[in-house]
Amino acid sequence: MKATGVVVEYNPFHNGHLHHLTETKKTSGADLVIACMSGHFLQRGEPAIVSKWARTKMALAAGVDIVIELPYAFATQHAETFAKGSISLLHEIGCESFCFGSEDGGISAFEETVNLIQSNRDTYDASIKNYMNEGLSYPSALSKAFKDLKSSGNLIDLSKPNNILGYHYIEARNTVAPSLQAFTITRESAGYHDEHFASPSIASATSIRKNLFDPDKEENVINRYIPSATYEILEHYRKEFGGYHRWEKYWPLLQYKIMSSSPSQLREIYEIEEGIENRMIESSKSALSFEDFMNRVKSKRYTWTRLQRMALHILTNTTKSEMNERHAAPSYIRLLGMNKTGQEYLNKMKKSLELPLISKLSSADKKDIFLDMKAADIYSLGLSSNEAKKKLLHQEWSQPPVMMR
- For the chain, counts of helices (H) and of strands (E): 19, 8
Q: Specify the length of the chain in residues.
A: 405
CA–CA separation, 142 and 359 (whole Å): 39
Residue of 373, 270, 363, 377 lying closest to 314 (CA atoms):
270
The annotation status of 10 as a binding-site residue, yes or no, is yes
What are the b/e assignments for 225-263, b being 16+ CB within 10 Å?
bbbeebbebbeebeeebebbbbbebbbeebbebbeebee
Give me the torsion for CA of 324, 327, 329, 330, rounded to 10°: 130
The annotation status of 337 as a binding-site residue, yes or no, is no
The annotation status of 252 as a binding-site residue, yes or no, is no
Kind and range of the H or E run holding 32: strand 32-38
The annotation status of 313 as a binding-site residue, yes or no, is no
The annotation status of 183 as a binding-site residue, yes or no, is no
The annotation status of 9 as a binding-site residue, yes or no, is yes
Per DSSP, what are the bridge partners of residue 127? none
The annotation status of 297 as a binding-site residue, yes or no, is no
Helix axes 304-315, 251-259, angle to 10 degrees: 80
In degrees rounded to 5, what are phi and psi of residue 59?
-65, -45
Contacts of 119 (CB under 8 A, 6+ apart): none
DSSP-assigned letters across all residues of 283-294: HHHH-SSHHHHH
The annotation status of 8 as a binding-site residue, yes or no, is yes
The annotation status of 324 as a binding-site residue, yes or no, is no
CA–CA separation, 75 and 87 (whole Å): 12
The annotation status of 174 as a binding-site residue, yes or no, is no
The annotation status of 101 as a binding-site residue, yes or no, is yes
Cβ atoms within 10 A of the Cβ of 336, count?
Answer: 23
Strands 333-339 and 66-70: antiparallel
The annotation status of 167 as a binding-site residue, yes or no, is no
Distances (CA, A) of 339 to 19, 161, 335: 20, 31, 12
The annotation status of 12 as a binding-site residue, yes or no, is yes
The annotation status of 270 as a binding-site residue, yes or no, is no
SS3 state of residue 403: strand
The annotation status of 14 as a binding-site residue, yes or no, is yes
CA–CA separation, 21 and 102 (whole Å): 13
Per DSSP, what are the bridge partners of residue 405? none
The annotation status of 15 as a binding-site residue, yes or no, is yes
- Binding-site positions read 7-20, 101, 162, 187
- Binding-site positions for ATP read 7-20, 101, 162, 187
